[in-house]
Amino acid sequence: MKPGRNDACPCGSGKKYKYCCLSESATVAELGEQTWRRVRAAIDGYAGDMLHFIAKAYGVDAIQQGWFEFTMGKSEEFVQGEPNAELFFAWLFHVWSPQKLKGNTISDASLYGVPPSRAYLDRKAGRLDPLLQRYLEACLAAPFGFHEICECEPGVGFTTRDVLSGAEHDVRERSGSATLAPGDIIFGQIVAISGIAMIDALAPYSFPPSYKIHLIQVRARPELEHPSDLALRAIYFSLADAYRNPPLPKLHNTDGEPIEPRTLYFEIDSAQGAFDALSSLALGSTREELLAEAKFNAKGAVIEAQIPWIRHNHPKHDLEAVVLGQLYIADSKLKVEVNSAARASAFRRLLEKTSGLKARYLRMRKHPVDVTRAARLPGAGAGFTPRSAEQEELLEQPEVRAKLEQLQRRHYENWPEVALPALNNRTPLEAVRNADGREMVEALIAQFERDSSRMPVPPDSTVFTNLRRRLGL
């Protein structure tokens, strides 16, 4: 309801509406902006005064005690420049409640169990700006939480939904709205006052959409239906650590086997005999095509040749054929390169069944897998290794781009039917049958969309439209 001219102004200034925010031409957005400006002016500089108050009332060691509790004992000393400083000070002011049983020792014994903001309000009653008083009361009532960015208007603000509680806010935040995007997950404290919502504290980075899946799984646990402050901080630090130090990716080949490159060495009677016995492994290549790349002796017999070991794939898979390995024949030696232990064993069994070929196994050499973490920016999602000039040139070829686009379409067409660990080994089609599963699948698709712009050949937006349509999202 719109306030009357003589009513108290909803911005909290204490003045009548007609002498404050009333303007015959003011829109709701303009009134919200006026309220935001007034609140910002009222709270400007209060943090410094609060720190002085804490040092005097709670003791000079209070900040270090609070920091030890905030980090759950993982860090004993707070230092300037700490990335979580903003988050910590808001928690120290509005949440920290020193307890003797926790080992806290403070100057004024009457303040045990009393958050600093509450003590500050009580002891400075009547001397504070009324709007600052209302703001601090709102801070004391506002929990920390994980908030999903639903819509964002850069330079103005964004709408959020608490992933765990479902509470929604229309937040006014200029700087944050310039860097956030729909789907981002932020952790912090959102304070509602005078009809608007503001950020009191925010973690130093946002989490990409895929992190919502873990939070949904947390939300489903009965003991975390109403998570405590301690539980929320534990979840935050766990996710933050995973975000800053992502585990090395587990690489698998097209058969789902762990990537473990190996080279097998065999002794053979003759290069020609080995070529004749193994050339049929190169499905899709003729004998003449293989011989065109071979080397011969003076009598015309093969002395060196290469044979790709190729298998036709299942029709529903992205690739029509799969290269299982590469064979190198040279004089009396056969070398075979494969990318998994299973394929190494499969090739040895294949040799045993190959008629007309005598091959004596010599040894096997394992090769390390060079997996590096791609640098990621706050809220950036997946990282991709920069492409070389040769790769860039290759991707400019129309036939290469067309093939990649075809593979992408097949991947996303088949994706709804693939059981995924992120969905508790359910397929997306199975997961969307309940509300939590629908949110998880939507989060995965949102992550796909975000990462697609950094893919070698970005898929067309209709791919994701069709994906959502098929899943009923």
* pLDDT tens column, 115-155: 999 999 999 888 888 989 999 999 999 999 999 999 988 88
Query: Number of H helices and number of E strands within the chain?
Result: 17, 11
Residue 151 CB neighbour total at 10 angstroms = 10
Residue 445 CB neighbour total at 10 angstroms = 20
Residue 43 CB neighbour total at 10 angstroms = 19
Sign of CA dihedral 235, 236, 241, 247: positive
Integer Cα distance of 130 and 127 in angstroms? 9
pLDDT at residue 366, as a whole number = 94
Shortest CA distance to 190 belongs to which of 165, 212, 215? 165
Tokens 């003759």 — which residue? 270
The pTM for the full model equals 0.71
Beta bridge partners of 158: 152, 171
pLDDT at residue 381, as a whole number = 42
Shortest CA distance to 146 belongs to which of 202, 197, 191, 90? 202
pLDDT for 371 beyond 60: no
Residue type, 300: G
Q: Give the neighbor-by-neighbor strand order of the sheet with 295-296.
A: 295-296, 302-312, 321-330, 333-338, 262-268, 359-366
More confident residue, 450 or 23: 450
267: confidence class by pLDDT, cuts 50, 70, 90? very high
pLDDT at residue 319, as a whole number = 52
Judge contact between 229 and 95, C-beta under 8 A.
yes
> How many alpha carbons lie under 13 Å from residue 175 in its C-beta half-sphere?
5
User: Whats the size of the chain, residue-wise?
Assistant: 473
pLDDT at residue 391, as a whole number = 60
User: Worst-scoring range by mean pLDDT, 74-88, 227-241, 423-437?
Assistant: 74-88
Mapping DSSP onto H, E and C, the string for 296-353 reads ECCCCCEEEEEEEEEEECCCCCCCCEEEEEEEEEECCEEEEEECCHHHHHHHHHHHHH
| Overall average pLDDT of the 177-184 stretch | 87
What angle is formed at CA 466 by the lines to CA 465 and CA 472, rounded to 5 degrees?
90
pLDDT in tens, 214-225: 999 998 888 877
All domains of the chain in start order, with CATH: 46-139 (no CATH), 146-223 (2.40.50), 262-366 (3.30.70), 389-471 (no CATH)
Distance of CA 104 to the CA centre of its chain: 36
Q: What proportion of the chain, given as a percentage, has pLDDT over 70? A: 85
User: Worst-scoring range by mean pLDDT, 192-201, 241-250, 360-369, 372-381?
Assistant: 372-381
pLDDT at residue 455, as a whole number = 73
Beta bridge partners of 329: 305, 334
More confident residue, 86 or 6: 86
Angle of the 85-94 helix axis to the 46-57 helix axis, nearest 10? 60
pLDDT at residue 157, as a whole number = 87
Three-state DSSP class for residue 160: strand
| Overall average pLDDT of the 338-359 stretch | 92
pLDDT at residue 40, as a whole number = 83
| Overall average pLDDT of the 281-307 stretch | 92
Judge contact between 106 and 114, C-beta under 8 A.
no
pLDDT at residue 377, as a whole number = 44
176: confidence class by pLDDT, cuts 50, 70, 90? confident
pLDDT for 45 beyond 90: no
More confident residue, 72 or 251: 72
**Cβ within 8 Å of residue 157, ≥6 positions away:** 170, 171, 172, 173, 174, 177
388: confidence class by pLDDT, cuts 50, 70, 90? low
pLDDT for 426 beyond 60: yes
Judge contact between 43 and 132, C-beta under 8 A.
yes
Q: Cα separations (Å) of 211 from 172, 188, 190, 217, 227?
A: 24, 16, 20, 10, 18
Judge contact between 91 and 69, C-beta under 8 A.
no
pLDDT for 11 beyond 70: no
More confident residue, 403 or 333: 333
379: confidence class by pLDDT, cuts 50, 70, 90? very low
pLDDT for 429 beyond 70: yes
Mean pLDDT for the chain overall: 85
**Cβ within 8 Å of residue 34, ≥6 positions away:** 11, 21, 26
